[in-house]
Each structure stands twice: as C-alpha cells, then as structure tokens.
Amino acid sequence: MNNALNGKIALVTGGTSGIGLATAKELIAQGAKVYITGRREAELEKALIALGDAATGIRADASQLADLDKVYGQIAEQAGRLDILFANAGGGDMLPLGEITEEHFDRIFATNVRGVLFTVQKALPLLSNGSSVILTGSTVSVMGTANFSVYSASKAAVRNFARSWALDLQGRGVRINVVSPGPIKTPGLGDLVPEEQRQGLFDALAAQVPLQRIGEPEEVGKAVAFLASDAASFINATELFVDGGMAQI
C-alpha cells in the first residue's frame, strides 16, 4: 500500500462519480482522509458506500457560495486544516455558436469558473504550509472543438487561474497546478450524446489518441495524487495532460 498521503486532509469537489470519485478512492488508498461534495444526496450516499470510512460527504453545489461556506465550516470544525484541494466540480454540454443561450453560458461558467474561483478562495484560511491545490482543466482548452466553445473557454480560464494564483500565493508554501484530462470514460462524457451514439463517440475519440483508446478515471486519479504528494514538491503553476498524447501532436 502506498502511504504517500498518510494523514493528509483532502477535499474533492464533484466527488460522487467519474474523475472525482476515482481520485477520492486513490487519495484514500494513499492514506488521506477525504471529504467529497456532490449536489445530489442519493449519489453522495452511493459514493460514500464505495469509499468507506475514510470519506466524509457534504451535499453542496460548488457554484453556490453559501454551500462552500458550509463545506469549509465543517472541515474547519472536524479537521482544522486542509492539505489537498482538488477543485474538480464542473461540466458542460455542447451547442454550436449560433445556438448558444445565456442559460448555457451562465450555467457552465457558474460552475467551471466562478465555482472554481470561490472554491479556492474560501479554502485559503485552511490551507496548510506545503499544501497542494489541483484544478481540473481539459485538453479542449488548447484545442478547437466544434460545438464546445463555452466549455472550452471555461477550461482555458481555469488554466490561467493556476498561473496567476501561483503568483498571488507566493510565500504561502501552497502549490497550485492543473490536471487536464483528454477523453476519459466517465458518465459526463457519455451524456454528451444519446445512449445509442455513446460507443460511436468513444470510438471516434479513441481514434484521435496516439494510444488508440480513451482513458479511465483511475488514470486521472493517479495523476492528481502525484500532484498532491511530496513527489511533486517543486511542481507549481503547471498543467499535467492526462490525454494519451491527444493534445500533444
């Protein structure tokens, strides 16, 4: 068993499925005590059963500041500090330029940009010296993707957050990095298309990846755990692509 994160206190937002859940499992496997958030109580309870006693769930919407206050209030009371923050909550759907609505834009930016900003800002009083903040980016922030411009722009904003916040946090001993997945087999990816088109989407994406497959959530979880660990102690303001080479060629 890898005990690289033994005794660490971690928060994973959007931790009930996909990359968030897989990362929570990996952090626990490496010795951390993990708090997860999710918007839906039923999914939160299901995730906690999968994670076991080292996990604590808090129902919260990362785009709602009052919910974030509740999350950090509970962590402050129960743990007193935070060593690892994985600001992962986010998502998006597809619309071509001519059909983008205010609701589409506001919903995606509320979670992916506004939510990430205040998730990190409100964590600052709890972050310990030497702590690690990891943001979820995406390969689409550096690649053009048809019908996905709002989501892509939100992830480009996340990438710049890490660059700028690394300067804002100088002297705090806090590292901030971005993990940018390529196509990963998650419920969110599958939900972009009707169920009968899902396998076709996976196959089309796999054909664009040099490794000729799409990734698994656990592969992103291991990358996040690395960035959270002391093995990454001199890695700051960077972007780690977990994409099978998709955005690199």
72 among known catalytic residues: no
Q: What is the dihedral of CA 101, 106, 109, 110, to 10 degrees?
A: -160
Q: What strand order describes the sheet that includes 127-136?
A: 55-59, 33-38, 9-12, 82-87, 127-136, 175-181, 239-242
The single-letter code of the amino acid at 188 is G
Nearest CA to 232 among 184, 174, 182?
Answer: 174
Q: Residue 27 belongs to what H/E stretch?
A: helix 18-29
DSSP code string of 40-89: -HHHHHHHHHHH-TTEEEEE--TT-HHHHHHHHHHHHHHTS-EEEEEE--
The single-letter code of the amino acid at 59 is R
User: What tokens appear for 63 in the block?
Assistant: 């785009």
Nearest CA to 48 among 16, 75, 96, 2?
Answer: 16
Active-site residue (options: 109, 148, 151, 241): 151
Catalytic residue positions? Answer: 151
